[in-house]
Amino acid sequence: MSIFEPIDTHIDVWNKLKKAITAGRMAHAYIFQGAEGSGRESVARAFAATVNCLNPDHDGTACGQCVSCRKIHHNNHPNIYYIEPDGASIKLHQFKELKRELSLRQVENGCQVIIIRQAEKMTGEAANSILKILEEPPAQTVFILIVKNISAIKTTILSRCQKVSFQTASLEDTYKLLIEETGYSMSEVKLAMQIGGEGVERARQLLEGKLFELRGKVLDKVKRVDSMHQAELMTVAEEWSGEFAWEIIQVLILWYRDLLVWREAGTDNLIINMDRMEQIKQDTTPDGDMRGIIDIILEAQWALSVNANKKLTMQDMLLKWSKVYR
């Protein structure tokens, strides 16, 4: 299987695009419309790989191994351009620069692919500029506008593009996409999805940010809650009430859930924190205490979900928690 093989959810869309490519009936511009995280960009990359592959399979699929495919996989192919919001919007100067670059370059092999992320964020001037480009499209160049909401795109631009709609990916496919995009393992991706509340974008941010470091720090503190003095509990509450307060509560819930699952089922195939299996097996929190702790954490989760003050919620949780053991 090629590294550019799209996920199952997009097979139909992809087959149509591939047919157009192999038949030489490509449009000059496409609009890929779909939800955040639906995999629009991986299809755009598969497209770019297919039109540039030096050694495609008999059905036109990119080989995934030639110099061109490898460059696309590593995001350093000279034929592929990305344009994305510079701050809050995509600005005129970005298209001016693109136009200059395109005019300076001679495409020797394949086809240039310009991928515009969050195209709905083009300013009016930028939109006019791309419209001019699309009215006289440069040779061997394909534009792919990636959008969530097509109604935010001017009809004059829409009329120049072929529209491709993407369905929201299934959960299994979402895992695959995240593994492909972030390089993390299945168990890590599942953990991030659970902690991020199933939102793909949040999961991606967590994986690209410091999820595992955050979890490590939280679990280190968990080990010592029973021996902390009030001052230390207050310091921890302060630390936990920042930007990631919600995620910290999820880390705690999933952790205690895993401890319970391990005790009750004695099998690791339902464990979410798979990489911490040893610590899970060694935990000696008495059953009764564990129930009490879980109730306290769930109470804090509820408080945060109704926008209670984060610091007060964390203080309250930690004070109650520390008393469970006494």
Name the residues that contact Zn ion, by CB under 5 A.
53, 62-63, 66, 69
* C-alpha to C-alpha distance for 289 and 324, rounded to whole angstroms: 6
Question: Is 7:141 a contact under the CB 8 Å cutoff?
Answer: no
Query: With the C-alpha atoms ordered 246, 252, 257, 258, is the resulting torsion angle positive or negative?
Result: positive
Cβ of residue 53: shortest distance to Zn ion, in angstroms?
A: 3
* C-alpha to C-alpha distance for 173 and 39, rounded to whole angstroms: 9
Which is closer to Zn ion, CB of 180 or CB of 239? Answer: 180
Cβ of residue 179: shortest distance to Zn ion, in angstroms?
A: 21
Cβ of residue 74: shortest distance to Zn ion, in angstroms?
A: 13
Which is closer to Zn ion, CB of 53 or CB of 271? Answer: 53
Which is closer to Zn ion, CB of 46 or CB of 233? Answer: 46
Cβ of residue 304: shortest distance to Zn ion, in angstroms?
A: 48
What residues are paired with 90 via a beta bridge?
A: 122
Which is closer to Zn ion, CB of 27 or CB of 66? Answer: 66
* C-alpha to C-alpha distance for 111 and 23, rounded to whole angstroms: 15
Residue with tokens 């699929």: 61
Helix axes 200-208, 171-182, angle to 10 degrees: 30
Question: Is 50:25 a contact under the CB 8 Å cutoff?
Answer: no
At residue 305, the 3 state secondary structure works out as helix
Which is closer to Zn ion, CB of 57 or CB of 295? Answer: 57
Cβ of residue 66: shortest distance to Zn ion, in angstroms?
A: 3
